[in-house]
Structure formats: structure tokens, C-alpha cells
A and B are shown apart, each in its own frame.
Chain A
Amino acid sequence: MKPRTAIGRTVVLSLQLLLSTWYVLPMIPLVLWAMARTWPAPLMLPSQWGPAGIAEALHDDATSAFAASVLLATLTAILATPAGAMAAFALTFGPLRGHRALSALLLAPAFVPPFVIVMGINVTLLRLRIPSMVGIALALMVTAIPYTTFVMRSALAGYDMRIEDEARTLGASPGALVARIRIPLLAPAIATSAFLAFLVGWSDYIVTLLIGGGQIVSIQIRIAAAASGTGNEAVVAALSIAAAAPPLLLLLALSRFSRTPKRRESPASQMAQEARRTATGALT
């Protein structure tokens, strides 16, 4: 709603400007450094512009770190999204014994710091000779499950099971029910859930570092290694922007995607209503 008084408008306006600055400020030096060829202190802007950081990052084989991150994040999403969706179904539509305990169990990893999980399971992973990639994927999957389960539970709370009942009455097979009704209707929630799981894998640092033991270098490990040294500002900035882009683009795609079904749905539902009206008319 709009503020009603002149003072209210001024307060809201200054808050909006102040808060926008708060969110955008840390990104400014990152962007400037990524475009700087030379930028000695105390200059406020680079003295020479150019993609020096990007060139150096490519030279340092940032692409393989990028590929490792894509793999880990995709694995996390592939594992945690269906697991969370199925668990949410069981918890929402049950009946399930130990409902409260199971619900708490699936939220528990959000309350346990990842380094605690990794330091605890490390010896077991080594003893069982589990490949580090599998160990990392397993730990990341468990870290992502609270989020995928939560998103799907919120979506299912508003899911009308009568649509499925109706389809079943009309002769839809269980497979068709899932493929043609359940998944399309829940697609925006599934996409959000997969995005969050991808983000857990993409953002991870400590799990890959400790289980991978330096053998698996993700993009976050590359950035942290460069950022912990001195004189690497341009590379750090180039790598950071490259590594921030995939989740940001996915978020953008997600907001587009979540909006489309409504637009597509209306003609379809109009047609369905039309068909139903015709059918009812024919029957009576």
C-alpha cells in the first residue's frame, strides 16, 4: 500500500534507497575489479580497463573447477529433489506412523553445521572406501533435503487431491495421473525445490574441501584459495562473477517459469469448463 502522508513518503523513500544500497554495495567493487586491467590505490576507479582477471582465471584452469561445481550441484539436485518430493507426499497425505518424528528428522540437517557432519562421517567414508565424489554427493543431498521437503510440503498443502480423484474416475492410469496431472501442476514447486538443492551444492565449500581432500576443486574452492592470497583482486572478482552467474540466471528462469503456467492454464481451463458444460448439457 502507498504511504499516506508526506513524512511517510519521505521515510519510505529513504528506507528504500538505503536498503537498495545495502544490497547492491558489495557487488560494486566486484564488478569494477573484474573489468580492471590496472587499479592502484588510492584511485576510486581503475586506471586501465580490460579483462585481465578473466584472462588470468582462464589461464589458471578455472573451467575444470567450474565443471566440477556443475557436476556436484546437479548431482545434489537430482538426488534431493525427488527424495524431498516423495517425502513431502508421504508426510502430507500419509497415513504415516511416527509422522512428527519423521518430519523433525528431515528438518534436522538444517540445524547441524556441515563441518560437523563431514568431520563425523569422514572416517567411515574412508573405511568403507566410498569414492569421495559419492561421499560429497551424499552429504550435500542430506544437507539439501530439509529445503526440498519444506518447499514441496508448502506446495502440497494447497494441492487439491480431488483433481486426481476426478482423473481416476475418468479412467486415468496411475502413470498418466503422475505424468499428466501431478507433475505439471506441481512443476513450479518442483523447479523451486530443484533450484534450492542446486544452490546447496553450488555454494558448498567445506564439504567438498574436507571430503575431497584437495583432489576435487570446485569453483568455490578456487575462489577462496585466490581470495586468501594477496594481489589477486582481479582474478577473485572475475571468478566470483562467473560463479555467481549460474544461480542468478537460474533464479531468473525460475521466476519466468513459475509465472507461465497461469497464462497457459487459463485457455486450457476455459476449454475444460466449456467441455464440462457441454457434457452436462448433453446428459440432462
Chain B
Amino acid sequence: MRRAALLILPAAIPTVLVLSTAVTMGTVQSLGLWPVAGTADASLAAYRAVADSGELWSAVAISIVIAVAATALAVIVGFTTALAVMATGRRARVLKGLAISTIPVPHVIGAAAIGLLLTDSGWLARLFGSTSDTWPQFVGGPWWAAVILEYAWKESAFIALVVMATLARDAAELSETAAVLGAGAVARVRHISAPLATPALIIAGTLSLIYALGSFEVPWLLGRAYPEPLPVLAYRLFTSTDLEVRPQALAVSMVTVAIALTFGMAALALLRRRTVAA
């Protein structure tokens, strides 16, 4: 008992210290109770300020749309990759190698690469012989396409890896048996691979959703200057020379973590309902 308790401390103490400090100090500062400038005064003024300017609502909407679109795409591509890798042969091994080597590429580099690929003078525009007038505005455009594609690219590889591990363990043998018994490819995916992969898809999908919601560098590099998603808005307020707006940065930050935790809880509930049903 005592030994197990001691063993968990090196991980638990830093985690508790950092998370509790981050949440309490974040809340305290967002309520104006620990001002960098001016006097302490408990109020929701910072939340009201970002809400009234409309910045908060547009940031919430943009961040959720980007995260959901990127994750939906990543789940589809990632799951399809895992299925395509289940087929044996050299091409399946090459695909697996390519997907796996995408995983350790940092998002800053992914954003730089997607930028070189998709700007109006990027490689794809040159391949298609487009000029800046005819090429769609993927980078910095109104649809946040480059941002969504960067997340989808990176996260699809992550989701593929997680699902591959699950399917390699559970689905390969069942699929063989079902095929011998006469089940077609579509039936095998629908009744074996898809249900077996669903828990892994929910977990990996939620992690990538929360990542896309709270990551700064990709929308900062590939997005447009205005309106801003949540992390970019929080960063601008946090690093502003006007120290009066610091509580607003923390307010945006607290709203972000609330949304992230809501998604996390929803995923857990979904997983629990599935296990109860099964």
C-alpha cells in the first residue's frame, strides 16, 4: 500500500501542482482578482468585455468548426488507412510506413509544409498552372481550409496508428473467419472492423479534437488575421502591451478549457454507453 502510494508521487505531484495552479490562478486572474495592472476587484468584467466585443463568440464558433471538421476528416482518412493496411502486401506496408512517419512530424513543420503546398504560389498551384487570381484561398482564406487540412493530415496518421493496433489484435482473425463463411468486404467492415474500431476511434478522435481546439501555431501560421480562433485570441490578449486586457486573455483561456472538458466528458459518456450496451 505504502509503496504503491510512493511510486505514484513523482507523476502525481507535478501534475496536481501544475493543473491546480493553472486552473485556480487562471480563474482568479480572469475574475480580475490578481491584476498585473490596476486594483483587484472581483467581477465578470473580463468575460463581459470579450463577449460584448463579439470576439469571444466568433472565436468559439471558429475553433469548434475547425476542430470538428478536421477531426471528422481525420477519422474517415485514419480509419480507411487502417483498413487499407489490413490488406497484406508491399503497398500496404509502404502506406503503413508513410502514415507512421507522419506522426512524429511537429505541427509547426506540418503547417510550414502545408503552406508551401497550398498558398497561391505553392507547389499545387504551380502544378495546376493556376495564378493567384484563379487559385482558391486555402491559406488565410475565409474557410480555414489549410488549417483544417493540416490538422486532418497529422491526426489521420495518429488515428490510423491507434486503430491499426486495435484491428491487428482483434479484427484480423475474425475477418478471415467471416470471409471463409461467405461475408463480403462491406459486411466485414460493417459488422467486424467498424464496431471493433469504434472505442479506439472515439478516444483518438477526442484527443485530436481537443488538440485542434487548443493549438495556437497552426491557425496562427495558416489562418487569417481576423476573426481569430480561441488560442490566437487568447495569445494576442495575453501578450498585449496593454496590461489591462490580461484578465480577458485568461477569460478566453478558461472558456477554452471548459469547452475541451465538455468534449472530453461527452466522449467518456459515449464510451460508457457503448460498453454498457455491449
Interface residue ranges, A against B (CB under 8 Å): 1-5, 8, 11-13, 15-17, 19-20, 22-30, 32-33, 41-44, 82-84, 86-87, 89-91, 93-97, 102, 105-106, 108-121, 123-124, 138-139, 141-142, 145, 149, 199, 202-203, 205-206, 210, 220, 223-224, 227-228, 233, 236-237, 240, 243-244, 247-248, 250-251
Contacts and interface: CB of A to CB of B under 8 A. Distances in A.
Question: Which 5 A/B pairs are nearest by Cβ-Cβ distance?
Answer: A113-B214, A120-B22, A120-B26, A247-B104, A203-B106
B16 to A, nearest CB: 7
A23 B110 CA distance: 11
A121 B109 CA distance: 27
A87 B12 contact: yes
Nearest to A41: B121
A26 B117 contact: yes
Nearest to A92: B4
B1 A95 contact: yes
A95 B8 CA distance: 11
Contacts of A240: 109, 112-113
Contact of A16 (B92, B116, B264): B92
B4 A83 contact: no
Contacts of A111: 210, 260-261, 264
A41 B257 CA distance: 43
Given A3-B87, A96-B8, A210-B238, 9 more contacts: A20-B95, A23-B157, A42-B126, A43-B126, A96-B1, A105-B15, A112-B19, A113-B214, A123-B34
A220 B105 CA distance: 11
Contact of A227 (B22, B94, B221, B235): B221
Given A145-B15, A250-B104, A251-B104, A30 B87 contact: no
Contacts of A90: 3-5, 7-8
A19 B77 contact: yes
